[in-house]
Amino acid sequence: MHELSLCKAISGIVERHADGRRVSAVHLDVGALRQVVPDSLTFCWGLANAGTPWETSELDVRLVPARLTCLDCGATTELTEPFLVCGTCEGRAVTIASGDELLVTSIDLVDA
C-alpha cells in the first residue's frame, strides 16, 4: 500500500508549511494516471498523522481526469480507454495534458 508512504510525504509538506499551527484540511489534486486509490489515501491520512497538530485534519482529494493533447490535430480529449490515442482523430502522436498530478494545492489552517 503505497498510499501510506504518500501520506507521510504529504505530511512532511504540511509540517513545513503549517509551522506548528493546527490544520483543518489539506487539499490535494490526484491525477487519474497516478494509480492512487483515493479511499485508501484518505484512510491512511489518519494513520500517518497520529500525534501531529493536523491529526484531525481532513484530506480533501480531487481526482483530475486524464487528458491527452494530439500532436496531429491539436485536440485535447479525455482519456476514457487505457490506450494513448486521440479521441478525435485516433492519432497516436499524443502528449499527456493532465492526469499525472499529485499536488498539494492548499492547506487550511485553524485560527488560534
The CATH number assigned to the domain holding 58 equals 3.30.2320.50
- CA-CA-CA-CA dihedral for 108, 13, 64, 91, to nearest 10: 150
CB 83 within 8 A of CB 91: no
CA dihedral 70, 71, 72, 78 (to 10 degrees): 0
Look at residue 72 and tell me if it is in a domain: no
Please state the pTM of the whole predicted model: 0.83
* Residue 79 placed within a domain: no
Using one digit for the tens of pLDDT, what is the confidence trace for 62-110?
Answer: 999 999 999 999 999 998 877 889 989 989 999 999 999 999 999 999 8
Query: Could you tell me which residues are beta bridge partners of residue 69?
Result: 76, 95
Report yes or no on 77 lying in a domain.
no
Domain count, the chain: 1
pLDDT of amino acid 1: 57
User: What are 22-37's pLDDT values in tens digits?
Assistant: 899 999 999 999 989 9
Which H or E run includes 3?
helix 2-18
Per-residue pLDDT, 93: 94
Residue pair 11/49 in contact by the 8 Å Cβ criterion: yes
Is 78 a member of any domain? no
Question: Does residue 82 sit within a domain?
Answer: no
How many C-beta atoms surround the C-beta of residue 34 within 10 A? 18
Q: Would you place residue 20 in the very low, low, confident or very high pLDDT band (cuts 50, 70, 90)?
A: confident
In a domain, 42, yes or no: yes
Range of the domain at 33: 2-65+99-109
